[in-house]
Amino acid sequence: MPQADAMSTAERRAASSLAGVFAFRMLGLFMVLPVLATYGQSLRGATPFLIGVAIGAYGFTQALLQIPFGMLSDRIGRKPVIIGGLLLFALGGLVAAQADSMWGVIFGRVLQGAGAIAAAIMALVADLTREQHRTKAMAMIGMSIGLAFAVAMVVGPVIAGMAGLSAVFYVTSGLAVVGMALVIWVVPAPDAVFPHRDAGVVASAFLPVLRQADLLRLNYGIAVLHAILMASFVAIPLALQDRAGLPADQHWWVYLSALLLSFCVMVPFIIYAERQRKMKQVVLGAILLLALVQPLLWLSLDSLAWLVAAIVLFFVGFNLLEATMPSLLSKIAPAGGKGTAMGIYSTSQFAGAGLGGVLGGAVFSAFGLGGVFVCCAVLALSWYVIGVTMREPPYVTSYRLTLPLALARDEALPRRILAVPGVAEAVVVADEGAAYLKVDTKVLDREALELLVQPA
């Protein structure tokens, strides 16, 4: 690859350090999931319902504040918003660590969720990378989130087993401090802050995105997926401890085995979905697996071996959907509306997480472990019924072109861009001096496109 086409040192530094910030924050959020249902029982006022609320509480404030914080970062700068969000997250961890009641933990989790910095981080990535390398930078962040989830499932039970639940929350605060240090001293400062339609929310794109039926299906799906995850972590740790007889400090090996096996199984399906253009079929298959594994979890409650096998299948379905759905969103989102679609999608995800924790706690209180698994199966089946009506997505990629201002004001330019082979959609934003495209990379005539947008 020619040096001009490689990521610059500053871009690599920006992408890797911001991936680290994202990973440390998500690690702190996820570490609590496998331990709160078991270790939280000793807290004053703990009930299955309140444990469920504590598991999902961060999702409500995250959903409420993520888009506003992203827009605020357009006004006052990315770094102040990110540092402020990490400070709230660290404070929430300290509050939860020092709490002696379940209500104190819930308040701490609400504060953690208030540190809603995902949109601001994505916008900062766009500020610090060129268009041709932005996908790589976003992929680095995506991989860091997946790695953080895997590490959290293992590290959370180990820390809780050694030093208790409060130690897990103290570690989450420490990770937030490390993230702040990265933002202050390692992440480069952008030369300018400006809205990116492919990475940030734009008010004018809200209605077009909300009117698109396939995006609404996707938003419902991600809400259901994370509702099932949170409800499951009300039930699975208790199933392992109380029914299968596995002490809480040994749960780490179950999650480690399940995640490693699920990653090995899901990768071929991801490759098949992209290369063979069978995304809809793979997604529907994973949803169906998520629905069918719920009765298996219920039937396996008294057998550790079968319960572990069911947990492996659960994570195969969950991780496959978690990995493929952002790609699906990128294909479906309208040109110039990807950032807004991502913002609404993420808001749906966190709202689903909050509702899932509450629902899991309520159903467990009323119907026990089996009731939680039945509830999750019903949720997954509702998603499958809605997903069946989804159209096969167009296999296109979002693409942003910087334009000379004089060319950007040419009213005939969108029509000429659409005439280039491989271009499916084109939106020119004259004020930004940019064109947002959806292109099929297999047939795109790059030379024709580049010639078209050269200054006269």
Chain-wide mean pLDDT for the chain?
91
- Max Cα distance, the chain (Å): 74
Specify if 236 maps to a domain.
yes
Question: How far is C-alpha 38 from the geometric centre of its chain's CA atoms?
Answer: 25
Q: Write the DSSP assignment of 124-151 as a string of letters.
A: HHHHHS-HHHHHHHHHHHHHHHHHHHHH
What integer is the mean pLDDT of 142-164? 93
Per-residue pLDDT tens over the stretch 52-82: 999 999 999 999 999 999 889 988 999 999 9
Specify if 80 maps to a domain.
yes
More confident residue, 405 or 296: 296
Domain range holding 286? 201-395
Closest to 180 (Cα-Cα) out of 39, 312, 28? 28
Whichever domain contains 307, its CATH number is: 1.20.1250.20
The residue from 197, 221, 249 where one domain ends is 197
Instruction: Say whether both 155 and 302 belong to one domain.
Output: no
Question: pTM here?
Answer: 0.93
Instruction: Say whether both 405 and 444 belong to one domain.
Output: yes
Instruction: Say whether both 129 and 255 belong to one domain.
Output: no
Question: How far is C-alpha 422 from the geometric centre of its chain's CA atoms?
Answer: 29
Specify if 114 maps to a domain.
yes
Instruction: Say whether both 115 and 185 belong to one domain.
Output: yes
- pLDDT at 135 > cutoff 80: no
Whichever domain contains 433, its CATH number is: 3.30.70.100
List helix spans (H) across 276-303: 279-299
- Do 92 and 108 contact (CB within 8 A), yes or no? yes
Question: How far is C-alpha 407 from the geometric centre of its chain's CA atoms?
Answer: 37
Specify if 312 maps to a domain.
yes
Instruction: Say whether both 105 and 65 belong to one domain.
Output: yes
Burial class (CB in 10 A: 0-12, 13-18, 19+), 54: buried
List helix spans (H) across 129-212: 131-163, 165-185, 206-210
Q: Distance between CA atoms of 314 and 153, rounded to whole angstroms? A: 14
The residue from 157, 178, 197 where one domain ends is 197
Who contacts 135 (Cβ-Cβ below 8 Å, separation ≥6)?
397
Specify if 412 maps to a domain.
yes
pLDDT score, position 385: 97
Instruction: Say whether both 183 and 125 belong to one domain.
Output: yes
In this prediction, residue 1 has a pLDDT band, given cuts at 50, 70 and 90, of: very low
In this prediction, what percent of the chain has a pLDDT beyond 90?
68
pLDDT score, position 5: 65
pLDDT score, position 456: 59
The residue from 159, 181, 197 where one domain ends is 197
- pLDDT at 4 > cutoff 70: no
Q: Distance between CA atoms of 185 and 83, rounded to whole angstroms? A: 12
Instruction: Say whether both 192 and 213 belong to one domain.
Output: no
> Domain count of the chain?
3
Per-residue pLDDT tens over the stretch 362-399: 999 999 999 999 999 999 999 999 999 998 888 888 88
Burial class (CB in 10 A: 0-12, 13-18, 19+), 214: middle
- pLDDT at 96 > cutoff 50: yes
Specify if 4 maps to a domain.
no
Instruction: Say whether both 139 and 190 belong to one domain.
Output: yes
Measured CA angle at 153 (ends 39, 21), to 5 deg: 110
What integer is the mean pLDDT of 352-360? 97
What integer is the mean pLDDT of 32-60? 96
pLDDT score, position 412: 87
Q: Distance between CA atoms of 275 and 180, rounded to whole angstroms? A: 39
More confident residue, 279 or 135: 279
- Do 194 and 432 contact (CB within 8 A), yes or no? yes
Place of tokens 């040419």: 410
Instruction: Say whether both 172 and 114 belong to one domain.
Output: yes
Q: What Cα–Cα distance (Å) separates residue 135 from each residue in 3, 87, 276, 327? A: 18, 28, 21, 11
Q: Which amino acid, one-letter code, is at 107?
A: F
Instruction: Say whether both 340 and 431 belong to one domain.
Output: no
Who contacts 201 (Cβ-Cβ below 8 Å, separation ≥6)?
67, 70, 71, 119, 339, 340, 343
Instruction: Say whether both 148 and 261 belong to one domain.
Output: no
More confident residue, 192 or 350: 350
Per-residue pLDDT tens over the stretch 304-342: 999 999 999 999 999 999 999 998 998 899 888 888 999
Specify if 117 maps to a domain.
yes
Measured CA angle at 415 (ends 410, 420), to 5 deg: 115
Question: How far is C-alpha 329 from the geometric centre of its chain's CA atoms?
Answer: 12
Instruction: Say whether both 391 and 402 belong to one domain.
Output: no
Closest to 168 (Cα-Cα) out of 42, 44, 356, 34? 34
Q: What are phi and psi of 396, to 5 degrees?
A: -125, 165
Q: Distance between CA atoms of 386 and 289, rounded to whole angstroms? A: 16
